[in-house]
Each structure stands twice: as structure tokens, then as C-alpha cells.
Chain A
Amino acid sequence: DQQVKQNSPSLSVQEGRISILNCDYTNSMFDYFLWYKKYPAEGPTFLISISSIKDKNEDGRFTVFLNKSAKHLSLHIVPSQPGDSAVYFCAASASGTYKYIFGTGTRLKVLA
């Protein structure tokens, strides 16, 4: 049972435009969410987080939105840059469990 889903395996966006990466979850106990960026043959790099007490968190070009009723979160990258081309993972955790469930990732390609 996949508790965290990233239904789009890949996404292509023109440089300068907005990239929107989506993530859905099924477990209503999840209350903390992370987004990571991963280049090939490297470890994932933390990008941004959001707690369930918020519906939006912003850090520079990256904004994460959380819709608890829909059990959906999204990562917006504006403006997209070629260096943003990577695989993006969302991850979810429930308080006190100390572990995260990761989605299968979305490969973003930003075209110059």
C-alpha cells in the first residue's frame, strides 16, 4: 500500500516558467511533510518542509502548499532554472514515529 504517491513520473517545463510538482497521501496521521531534490548518484538534498498546522511555506523560489482535506501537497518552483532539473521526492511523517514515507519521485526537466 503506497501511502505517499507522486503520480507524475516526469515533468518538463520551460526555463523561467513555474514548475508544479504534486504529492498525495492516504494516511491522515501524517502531519509533517518534506520535499527533497536528488541528482543521479547523489544523496537527496532537503528543500523545504511544511507542518500540518500551516497550509503554505515559502523559501525563495520554492513554495509548498498543503491541502489537508484533500491529502495533497504541491511544490511550486518559480522561476524554474535549468539547474532545477533533478528528481524530486516528497516525504511524510506522523508525530512520534521518527520515520518518513517517501513517494516514488518526479523527474523534472527544465528546458533552456
Chain B
Amino acid sequence: SQTIHQWPATLVQPVGSPLSLECTVEGTSNPNLYWYRQAAGRGLQLLFYSVGIGQISSEVPQNLSASRPQDRQFILSSKKLLLSDSGFYLCAWSVLGGVQYFGPGTRLLVL
């Protein structure tokens, strides 16, 4: 069966520091991969998605970037965090345009 991992679960970072969140999927090949952010009291905002290695589509201009160095690995990064980057970050996978399955999430607090 397929599983999706995200780490760390919680992260507290100072403003201006770098960020690297990792997501890996097991049990499937060539999944579509997604990064979402849920700000406090808000819905799910799609940040990036990828349909293959090295292919990244950005949905919202912002302080973040994404990379997909391997088929089942998706990384969310920032060179310098802003206060507004705080939120709950979710990784998800799907087969083509089907149902998306989410990881457990990373809570990021930027102080």
C-alpha cells in the first residue's frame, strides 16, 4: 500500500533563516506531488505541484521554492523565511488527476 511521509512534524524558525521540508511517497511510481499551505483559519492553498522529476509548477508567487530530485521525493525550501510563511504545510500525492492523498503535515512557526 502507499504511504506518504513528511518531516519534521513541527518546526520553529527565526525570521530570515532558511527552510527545507521534505516529503516522500512509498508504494507508487511516478506520482503527481503537491505542496499546500493552510494558514490559521484558512483553506488549503496550492503552492506547487509536480508531474515528474525536475518538473515544478508554481501556483502562487512567494518566498518559497520546490524541487523534485527523485521520483518520490518533493522538497519545499526557502532561503529566508518571513513571518507570513507560518502555517501548516501539507504534501499530497495522486495518480494523474485522481484523488489526492495527504501526508501528516508540518506545522511551521516563524518568529
Interface residues of A (CB under 8 A from B): 6, 32, 34, 36, 41-46, 49, 89, 91, 93, 95-105
Q: Are A46 and B105 in contact (CB under 8 A)?
A: no
Tell whether A43 pairs with B99 under 8 Å between CB atoms, given A89-B43, A102-B44. Answer: no
Can you list 15 residue pairs at the A/B interface with Cβ under 8 Å?
Answer: A32-B97, A36-B102, A43-B104, A44-B44, A44-B102, A45-B102, A46-B99, A97-B97, A98-B49, A98-B94, A99-B46, A100-B46, A102-B36, A104-B43, A105-B43
Known contacts being A89-B43, A98-B51, is A41 close to B105, with CB within 8 Å?
yes
- Residues of chain A within 8 A of B45, CB atoms compared: 102
B46 touches A98 (CB 8 A): no
Q: Name the prevailing secondary structure of the B interface residues.
A: strand
Q: How far is the CB of A43 from chain B (nearest CB, A)?
A: 3
Contact yes or no, B96 A98, CB < 8 A: yes
Interface size class, chain B:
20 to 34
Closest to A96 in B: B97
Chain A interface secondary structure, helix, strand, loop or mixed? Answer: loop
Tell me if B72 is interfacial: C-beta within 8 Å of chain A.
Answer: no
Q: A89-B43, A104-B43 are in contact. Are A98 and B99 (CB under 8 A)?
A: no
Q: Is B90 an interface residue (CB 8 A)?
A: yes
Contact with A along B31-58 (1 / 0, CB 8 A): 0101010000011111001010000000
Beyond A34-B99, A46-B101, whether A98 also contacts B44 by CB under 8 A is no
Among B43, B101, B103, the residue within 8 A (CB) of A102 is B43
* B7 at the binding interface (Cβ < 8 Å): no
Contact with A along B97-111 (1 / 0, CB 8 A): 101111111010000
Question: Which residue of B34, B44, B96, B105 has the most chain A CB atoms within 10 A of its CB atom?
Answer: B44
Q: Which residues of B contact A41 (CB under 8 A)?
A: 88, 105, 107
Residues of A within 8 A of B43 (CB): 6, 89, 102-105
Interface string of B65-81 (1 = CB under 8 A from A): 00000000000000000
A98 to B52, CA, bound (A): 12
Question: Do A99 and B34 form a contact, CB below 8 Å, given A43-B104, A46-B101?
Answer: yes
